[in-house]
Structure 1
Amino acid sequence: MAKYAIRRLLALLPVFLVVTVIVFLLIHLVPGDPIDNLMRSGSDPAQRDALSRAYGLDRSLVEQYLAWMGHLVRGDLGTAIVQRRPVAELIGENIGYSLALGGLALAFSAIVGIVAGVTAASFQDRVADRALMSLALVGSTVPSFWLGLLMILFFAVQLGWVPVSGARHWTSVILPATTVGLAGMALVARVTRIAMIETARQDFVTLLHAKGVSRFTIQTRHLLRHALVPVLTLLSLRIGLIVGGSVTVEYVFARPGLGSLLIRAIGQRDYPVIQGSLLMLAIAVMLGTLVGDLLQAAMDPRQREDDRS
């Protein structure tokens, strides 16, 4: 298992390099630069040139990329041009809020999704099954920012159950976590339902019924255990997607976090902050993929054998 984990980790290195190139080019090829936010109207062009040289923006893209990678391999994400603070410090102040939001959203997706999927599989092709899958379809198609606005209007403004925005109280994370987690819950519910229905057709399930094992025991101890293999893989892949999907939701709910930091930096064209934030999101996706592969290999040894061959 350790060798398999090392192989999968090494396989992420070229992916990481490609991601750094894409992140760098996406930012620098967009019109505008952070110097625009530092200069006042009518400022001397010589002052603009001096600032460009000070931040290395007068060099070629290749030189800027190599300089950025040189700092990156030493663990230095650079200094924010507009805020003039270390990017690592800014990310450290905000990433905790994103991790809390993402963790709660992932837990919501897992618990509610698995329960809904098991219930739908138990009542296959009945009213409960159709109702749950219809709700799952709606949950996976409604844009998260629009759903967040509806939740604010109903639960915060109309009912007054939770705060409208901010992060001053623990209740302020309920609506954002539910908003982010609904899309994942829908996917988990559908995957759980399909996996349980397919597993129920296996020969060993027929044998369990022949032995007189209760339906509840078969559902919870046998079908669910086999169905959790694809579900855990899906949830691990959702780790990065949930963190990334929190970007717009944090902005809608005016919460501090990596998403709010990224959106502000984009408006200011603050290259180091944008690069650092996008890199954190990409690393979250890659780590989620790695965790999914390791969980799948741990639960199904055939995965390790296929990779070795």
Structure 2
Amino acid sequence: MVGRLLGAVFVLWAVATLIFFAIRLVPGDPAEAILGGPGSQASAEALDTVRRQYGLDQPLLVQYLAQLGRLATGDLGTSYSLRTDVGRLLLEQLPGTIGLALLSLVVAWLLAIGTAWWATLGGRVAATVSSGLEVVASAVPHFWLASLLILVFSTELGLLPPVSTGTPAGLVLPVVTLAIPVAGFLGQVTRDSLLDAAATPFTVSARARGESPSGLFARHLLRHAALPGLALSGWAFGSLLSGAVVVESVFARPGLGRTLLGAVTLRDIPLVTGVALVSALAYVVVVALGDLAERAVDPRGRAT
């Protein structure tokens, strides 16, 4: 438990450090961003005042240590561009993005399990086709997939809205866009594990007892085949959070993804740092939950 907490603290520190130095490589002056960007035509006196007020005139190491001190107390600062408390802003945007990522993860697992079931029970042709679909799905870019889904289901068929509407119908295309690439990867891992599990003695014994193919899959194979995928669910969730930057922008959906994209463009250092830290914390939590789920499914995990 202590080791897991220390690991979480290390991840958050690493993210905060990386963001601090990376955002300063983006061309532009943070002081100008605070005053409204290059178009504000701020005077040199105003820029100097802002630099002193925000500590931007201090050496980089001093700025870095000061930021770590603020973050350690839970102070995420004030957004340069939106002039509002970063913590409050993230609390408003967080539920939408986390909900989108979790729902996409559930859909990805359903697609992966469905594909694995078809590949297992459908014969050689089904196995070959499902393998090809998984490879294509895992490699397809979010932007291209989102554009294709909008073209087919919104423009041509008129079945679903092309942008977020705040309704369940407006969630379908963003969720599917995020879920399909992850489902392709989880499907590959699950299918390979199914093949390994199908050759084990307990599977042979279950067949000898007269277990049906569907019962064998549901009661024996799936539990063992899902273990590698469960172990990778934390990675999958992180992938969904990063994909949300593109998906929320394409579907005009409010959330951390669009917030981060705008913050990076405007060099809004407190907001970029806040979004990155919240995303990293969510990733750490989901990884821990994935470990618990793996222990619940794997009898060997419960035994230890």
TM-score when normalising by structure 1: 0.90
Q: 1:42 to 1:7 in 2, by over 3 A?
A: closer
Where does residue 106 of structure 1 map in the other structure?
Answer: 105
Q: How does 1:22-101 map to 2 (within 5 A)?
A: 22-37=18-33, 38=35, 40=39, 42-101=41-100
Alpha-carbon distance in 1 for matches of 2:69, 2:255: 27
1:189 aligns with 2:187: yes
Q: Secondary structure at the match of 2:232?
A: helix
Q: Could you tell me how far apart the structure 2 residues matched to 1:163 and 1:49 are?
A: 48
- C-alpha RMSD of matched pairs (Å): 2.1
Residue type at the aligned position of 2:31: I
Equivalent AA in structure 1 for residue 87 of structure 2: A
Q: Once the two structures are superposed, what CA deviation does each residue of 1:111-146 show, in whole Å capped at 9, x if it has no partner?
A: 11111112112235x221122221111111110011
Shift of 1:305: 9.2
Letter paired with 1:155 = F
CA distance in 2, matches of 1:282, 1:41: 33
CA distance in 1, matches of 2:26, 2:143: 25
Listed as ranges, the matches of 1:158-307 within 5 Å are 158-300=156-298
Indicate how the Cα distance of structure 1 residues 305 and 221 shifts in structure 2: closer, same or farther if over 3 A, else same. Answer: closer
Distance 2:186 2:149 in 1: 22
Cα gap change, 1:51/1:158 in structure 2, threshold over 3 Å: closer, same or farther? same
Shift of 1:79: 0.4
Amino acid at match of 2:17: V
Does the 8 Å CA contact 1:240/1:287 hold for their aligned counterparts? Answer: no
Which residue identity lines up with residue 120 of structure 2 in the other structure?
A
Kept in 2: contact 1:105–1:180 (CA 8 A): yes
Q: Quick one: which amino acid aligns to residue 30 of structure 1?
A: V
Which deviates the most, 65-74 or 284-293?
Answer: 284-293
Taking only the aligned residue pairs, the percentage that are identical comes to 37
The residue type equivalent to 1:86 in the other structure is D
What is the alpha-carbon distance in structure 2 between the residues aligned to residue 8 and residue 297 of structure 1? 16
Unaligned runs of 5+ in 1: none
**Count of aligned positions:** 301
Q: Output the CA distance in 2 between the equivalents of 1:244 and 1:34.
A: 25
Q: TM-score, normalised by structure 2?
A: 0.91
Distance in 2, matches of 1:32 and 1:284, equals: 30
Aligned with residue 149 of structure 1, among 142, 147, 163: 147
Q: Deviations over 1:57-93 (max 9, x none)?
A: 1112222222222221221111011211001111111
CA contact (8 A) 2:194 2:225 kept: yes
User: Cα offset for 1:179?
Assistant: 0.2
Provide the rounded CA distance (Å) in 2 between the counterparts of 1:295 and 1:9: 18
The one-letter code matched in structure 2 to 1:77 is L
